[in-house]
Structures are given as structure tokens and as C-alpha cells.
């Protein structure tokens, strides 16, 4: 038998770190998560401040540029984004090729990947400038693509963007306006959606951001990088958890509501069929996720305005949280609600259909993906990311 250790060059120390629990893959100045304290900052600004004082596009600009824009810079950036909200007519032909019941995340991966074919890069631009322009284009087109895929799924004609509206209001307009009646995006829904976007915009080296950075390290087209990020985000252990969390609450409601909580907790603790409390726990936060705290607060604040108060799932979620946080199983493992626990309830109140929850997450995270990817491309140290492995297969066989 071959001594496997002899296959590795002696001068390289190889670390084995499944799930990258202890491995920093890069240096980054974009955002910081203090998991013990339960704090999150974007470019040094606490998330609570940003949710209170900024809108999503200003937050995106802060993430991309590194500094808080002044009013003139923010207005210029808004105009630039608005300039690119339309998508090529042929993208809608592509959309027509999908099944109407396809999951929006599957459609999104396809359409975003295809943008590379509709918007070829300018070979006279540097790689960095190509990615900077693609950031604007992608932020602008993401709401259009998501709304298109929703309206396709319900058989409604596609709405053009309305550039007189804010980013969040325009998305609601593209989603819900019908030619037969006047539609004005409700102010409370616009406010709630904008805050959801800010809270989901960035979260350092999570799985989808690492995917995007890895693709960029290979020199991939910016739209392809984002398509890969969307694919990764769709997983239920990552961004897909917001949809799964709401479905868990719906199942709980069907099973008897608050009365059914003890049985769910019992099954989770017994690890029956691998059942987990979706929307609980986080790789980095070992304290309350600050985003979940803000979302829970918005739910309370907008109880009447967007109708969260009428939703029995909100009361159910509050009770589930109360019971879990008094239970030793969750306390000992530092399992607190994460961003996905309350975001579904809020999105539902705004009228967003459940299968679109993760697409909204992707719309927001586009800002963080580009900030991180462009930081890497501008770092002056563009190296192909290529993890090693510990080989456990057969030694060389005798032929």
C-alpha cells in the first residue's frame, strides 16, 4: 500500500477543515459578523443604523464603493441603475421555454446565466471595469427578471419597469400591477420590502458569496458568477430556508397551531427523521441574529399596516421562539432565530408568493455578491481558488 502522506509535497502544510468551520478564505473589508455578540456591520456601519436611515440602493452603493454616498452620489447611482432596468426582448422568449410551474430559482439561474449571451462584455474594458458595470446591470435587471418569472407562472402579461418609482416600489409594480386597474404599491409594503432587501444584502463569506468569489477566481463572466451564486443560495440550508421556515409554520398551523409546538420540539430534539427547526441556528451567530431581531420588530411595527397581525403564523412563530429559547436543547447549542425565521412572515404579508422568497433574497444579495467579487478582482492578488483534499480512495492499483 502507498503511504498517502507521501503524495503531498513536504513543504506544503495541508489543513483538513470539513465545512470550512475554521478556514478564512480571504481578507475582506465588506462586512463583519460578530457571532458571539450577535452583531453585523456593512463597511463598519451597524445593520440597525442602515435599516433605519438608508434605502436599499444606498446600502448597495455603500457595499460596492466602501463609503457612504452623499445625496448627489446616491441620486446619480439611482439614475444609473434605473437606466438598465429593462431586459432584452429575447429574454422573454427564453422564459417562454420554461414550464409554468418551474421553481422561480430554477428559472432565475437560467435567465441570469443567459444574460452573458445578451450583454457581451466589452473587450476594450479591463476585467475590473466589466464587473463594475455588470454590478449596475445586475442590480437593475434582477427585479425585472424575478417579476417576469412570477407573472409568467401565473399567466399574466409582463409589466415594464416604472422608473419613476423607487427600487422596491417598482418591483411591487412589476409584480402586481394589472392593466385593467390602477395599482399603487402600498407604502407600508414598500417600506417593509426595502428593509428586507437591506438586511439580506450582504453577509461576508457565506456559501453563495464564496461560490461567487470562487467563480470569479476562475475568470468567469460576471453573470455566470451570479448564476452560480443563485444556484447555491437556493439550497434549504442556505437561502432556501426562508421558504422552508414558512412551510414549517404552515404545517404546524395545520397540525393544530400552538398546541402542536411541543410535539414538533420533541421530534426535533429526538432528531426524528433529521427534523430541524428551520429558521433556527447559524454557523457564525451563536447569539440572536440581529437581522431576525429587526425583522421581528418590523413585523410588530407593521402589524396593522401590512396585515402581519392578522396572520396566525406570526403568533405561532413568536410562541415557537419563546418555547425554544426556554429549552435546554436550544440554549446549550446556541440556537436562536436566524434571518429566515421572520422574513417569510413579512414577505407573505406584503403579498410575495412563498416560492419567490429566496428570489427576493437573491435580489438583495446581488449587492453583496458584487461587492465581494469586485473586492477580490481589485485586490491585486487574483489567484485561482483551488481547495485541496485528503485522498481516501484506493492506492494505485496494479494494472
- Residues labelled catalytic: 282, 340
H or E element: which one contains 31? strand 31-34
Residue 176 binds ligand ACO, judged by CB under 6 A: no
Q: Which distant-in-sequence residues (6+ apart) come within 8 Å of 301 by Cβ?
A: none
**Cα 136 from Cα 149, distance rounded (Å):** 21
- Of the two residues 185 and 281, which places its CB atom closer to ligand ACO in the complex? 281
Member of 104, 161, 185, 281 binding ligand ACO (CB under 6 A): 281
**Cα 228 from Cα 215, distance rounded (Å):** 8
Closest distance of CB 276 from ligand ACO, Å: 3
Q: Residue 2 corresponds to which cell in the numbers above?
A: 502507498
Member of 68, 278, 313, 377 binding ligand ACO (CB under 6 A): 278
**Cα 47 from Cα 41, distance rounded (Å):** 5
> How many amino acids of this chain bind ligand ACO (CB under 6 A)?
18
Site for ligand ACO in 209-238 (CB under 6 A): 237-238
* Among the listed residues 354, 368, 347, 356, the one whose alpha carbon sits nearest the alpha carbon of residue 145: 356
Residue 365 binds ligand ACO, judged by CB under 6 A: no
Residue 190 binds ligand ACO, judged by CB under 6 A: no
Residue 266 binds ligand ACO, judged by CB under 6 A: no
Q: Taking CB positions, which residue lies at the least distance from ligand ACO?
A: 281
Q: For ligand ACO, what does the binding mask look like between residues 308 and 347, x meaning CB under 6 A? A: -------------------------x-x--xxx-------
Closest distance of CB 160 from ligand ACO, Å: 32
Piece of the chain touching ligand ACO by CB under 6 A; list 68-76, 214-222, 278-286, 371-379: 278-286
**Cα 254 from Cα 2, distance rounded (Å):** 58
Residue 360 binds ligand ACO, judged by CB under 6 A: no
Q: Residue 80 corresponds to which cell in the numbers above?
A: 444609473
Residue 205 binds ligand ACO, judged by CB under 6 A: no
**Cα 159 from Cα 151, distance rounded (Å):** 8
Closest distance of CB 346 from ligand ACO, Å: 15
Q: What is the DSSP-derived secondary structure letter of residue 327?
A: S
Q: Checking phi first, is residue 38 left (phi over 0); if not, alpha (psi -120 to 50) or beta?
A: left
**Cα 66 from Cα 211, distance rounded (Å):** 22
- Of the two residues 71 and 326, which places its CB atom closer to ligand ACO in the complex? 326
Site for ligand ACO in 236-265 (CB under 6 A): 237-239, 241
Contact in structure between 91 and 114 (CB atoms under 8 Å): yes
Closest distance of CB 4 from ligand ACO, Å: 27
Angle (nearest 5°) at CA 185 between 357 and 41: 50
Q: Residue 73 corresponds to which cell in the numbers above?
A: 452620489
Burial letters for 165-188: b for 16+ Cβ neighbours within 10 Å, e otherwise? bbbbbbbbbbbbbeeeeeeebbeb
Closest distance of CB 281 from ligand ACO, Å: 2
Closest distance of CB 269 from ligand ACO, Å: 8
**Cα 174 from Cα 178, distance rounded (Å):** 9
DSSP string, 241-268: HHHHHHHHHHHHHHTTGGGGHHHHHHHH
Residue 283 binds ligand ACO, judged by CB under 6 A: yes
Residue 104 binds ligand ACO, judged by CB under 6 A: no
**Cα 143 from Cα 112, distance rounded (Å):** 12
- Of the two residues 116 and 245, which places its CB atom closer to ligand ACO in the complex? 245
Closest distance of CB 268 from ligand ACO, Å: 5
Member of 58, 103, 282, 348 binding ligand ACO (CB under 6 A): 282
- Of the two residues 19 and 155, which places its CB atom closer to ligand ACO in the complex? 19
Q: Give contact residues for ligand ACO (rule: CB under 6 A).
A: 237-239, 241, 268, 276-283, 333, 335, 338-340
Amino acid at each position: 500500500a502507498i503511504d498517502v502522506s507521501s503524495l503531498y509535497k513536504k513543504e506544503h502544510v495541508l489543513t483538513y477543515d470539513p465545512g470550512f468551520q475554521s478556514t478564512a478564505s480571504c481578507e475582506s473589508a465588506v462586512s463583519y459578523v460578530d457571532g458571539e455578540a450577535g452583531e453585523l456591520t456593512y463597511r463598519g456601519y451597524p445593520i440597525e443604523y442602515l435599516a433605519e436611515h438608508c434605502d436599499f440602493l444606498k446600502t448597495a452603493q455603500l457595499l460596492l464603493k466602501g463609503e457612504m454616498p452623499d445625496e448627489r452620489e446616491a441620486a446619480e447611482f439611482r439614475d444609473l441603475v434605473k437606466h438598465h432596468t429593462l431586459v432584452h426582448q429575447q429574454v422573454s422568449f427564453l422564459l417562454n421555454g420554461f414550464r409554468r410551474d418551474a421553481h422561480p430559482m430554477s428559472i432565475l439561474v437560467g435567465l441570469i446565466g443567459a444574460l452573458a449571451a445578451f450583454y457581451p462584455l466589452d473587450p476594450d474594458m479591463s476585467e475590473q471595469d466589466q464587473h463594475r458595470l455588470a454590478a449596475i446591470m445586475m442590480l437593475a435587471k434582477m427585479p425585472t427578471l424575478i417579476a417576469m418569472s412570477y407573472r409568467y407562472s401565473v399567466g399574466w402579461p409582463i409589466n415594464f419597469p416604472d422608473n419613476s418609482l423607487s427600487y422596491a416600489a417598482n418591483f411591487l409594480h412589476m409584480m402586481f400591477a394589472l392593466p385593467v386597474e390602477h395599482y399603487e404599491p402600498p407604502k407600508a409594503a414598500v417600506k417593509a420590502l426595502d428593509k428586507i432587501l437591506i438586511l439580506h444584502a450582504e453577509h461576508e463569506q457565506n456559501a453563495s458569496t464564496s461560490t461567487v468569489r470562487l467563480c470569479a477566481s476562475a475568470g468567469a463572466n460576471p453573470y455566470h458568477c451570479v448564476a452560480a451564486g443563485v444556484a447555491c443560495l437556493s439550497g434549504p440550508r442556505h437561502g432556501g430556508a426562508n421558504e422552508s421556515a414558512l412551510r414549517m409554520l404552515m404545517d404546524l398551523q395545520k397540525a393544530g397551531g400552538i398546541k402542536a409546538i411541543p410535539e414538533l420540539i420533541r421530534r426535533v430534539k429526538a432528531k426524528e427523521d433529521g427534523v430541524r427547526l428551520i429558521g433556527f441556528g447559524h454557523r457564525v451567530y451563536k447569539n440572536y441574529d440581529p437581522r431576525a431581531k429587526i425583522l421581528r420588530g418590523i413585523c410588530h411595527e407593521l402589524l396593522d399596516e401590512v396585515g402581519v397581525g392578522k396572520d396566525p403564523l406570526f403568533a405561532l412563530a413568536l410562541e415557537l421562539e419563546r418555547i425554544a429559547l426556554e429549552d435546554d436543547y436550544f440554549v446549550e447549542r446556541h440556537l436562536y432565530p436566524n434571518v429566515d425565521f421572520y422574513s417569510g412572515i413579512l414577505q407573505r404579508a406584503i403579498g410575495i408568493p412563498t416560492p419567490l422568497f429566496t428570489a427576493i433574497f437573491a435580489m438583495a444579495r446581488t449587492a453583496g455578491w458584487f461587492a465581494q467579487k469586485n473586492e477580490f478582482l481589485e485586490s491585486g492578488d487574483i489567484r485561482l481558488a483551488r481547495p485541496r483534499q485528503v485522498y481516501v480512495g484506493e492506492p494505485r492499483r496494479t494494472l
